[in-house]
A = this chain, B = another copy of it.
Amino acid sequence: MKRKSVTSRDVAQLAGVSQSAVSRSFSPNAKVSEKTRKKVMDASRELGYRPNTIARSLITRSSRTIAVVTYSLENPFYSSVLEQASRFFQAQGYHLLMFFAPPGGSFDAVLDDIIRSQVEGVLMLAITMTQRQAGLVDDFGIPVVIINRTVDYAGISQVSSDNVQGGYWAGRHLASLGHQRIAYLGGLPDSSTHQQREAGFLEGLHSMEQACSAIEIGNYRYEDACEATRRLFSAPMPPDALFAANDLMALAAMEVLRHEFNLRVPRDVSIIGFDDVPMAAWPSHSLTTVRQPVDLMIQKATELLMKQVAQEETQPEHLILPVTPMLRKSTRHHADHN
């Protein structure tokens, strides 16, 4: 039960070689004769030796560790990012160290924690940062890629999708369907995604000479979205169409409308979401939505981060990837409108 602590010295002694020969034997591209390597490996096996990664990190100054920062994993989008990114980095000998930002959000303490931990890069999942905070991490010279949020600061890389365009399409589409009272179910008010989707949406409506009839906030969460939907549809003149800033909220609205207000979707109300989570395609929901290119976002973000970690001088990039409207059955068909 006691912690074994077999060091390279122990192995060297047993194998009858120097300690550095042991070290070399465990380095992929070192110059060791097959004979010594074999002696070392045999001795290692016998003693159950494993190189101590921490000692290695101290001297090579590379922890082979990437920090992942997020507020929550409730949205499957982010657990998906986490899983894919982790597999990607793991394949290159890196590992992810988790940091959850406190709900309330004194994000600064987490930042401090991250810097102490000597990670070589930071992956931010949907973290809303101020320019000051972005500058703070940047000053430390540690590569950062932020996924699904933008911040008005050039020094760190950002990968997001075209939220404005997605919102614009949603607005125009609902208006083109002949809806007259079109509402917006917003996400976290401070988030760039919320703001951009809303801005695009309003512009889309405007381009069809319509305005937004009502706005409520669901904070990207299921329960909050249910509440917001109840408020929207308890009004004297309830909406006849709804754009939600993500799928989870769109689905929440659909549940509330169908089962509490006895409204039919899309007959009485059209709904559009954002993300295209797997569940959106389930036949029961068949949610019309704006697809974010999740896999591509993850791929770009991880590659970008890896590149910055590997090479000293790489310029930050701001990537905005295209979204795709997914027409399903939660919105009226054009022919339906009178």
A: residues with CB less than 8 A from B are 1-5, 48, 50-55, 57-58, 61, 63, 65, 68, 72-74, 76, 79-80, 82-83, 86-87, 90, 95-100, 112, 115-118, 139-142, 222, 251, 254-255, 258-260, 278-279, 282-285, 312-313
Contact = CB atoms under 8 A, between A and B. Distances in A.
Given A53-B117, A83-B72, A98-B82, A283 B312 contact: no
Nearest to A117: B53
25 contacts: A1-B312, A1-B313, A50-B116, A52-B116, A53-B118, A54-B54, A54-B57, A54-B63, A55-B58, A58-B58, A68-B98, A73-B79, A73-B83, A74-B76, A74-B83, A90-B100, A95-B97, A96-B97, A96-B98, A97-B97, A251-B282, A254-B284, A255-B282, A259-B283, A284-B284
Nearest to A65: B97
Contact of A76 (B54, B58, B76): B76
A169 B313 CA distance: 62
Copies per complex of this chain: 2
Most chain B C-beta atoms within 10 Å of own C-beta, residue among A96, A97, A254, A282: A282
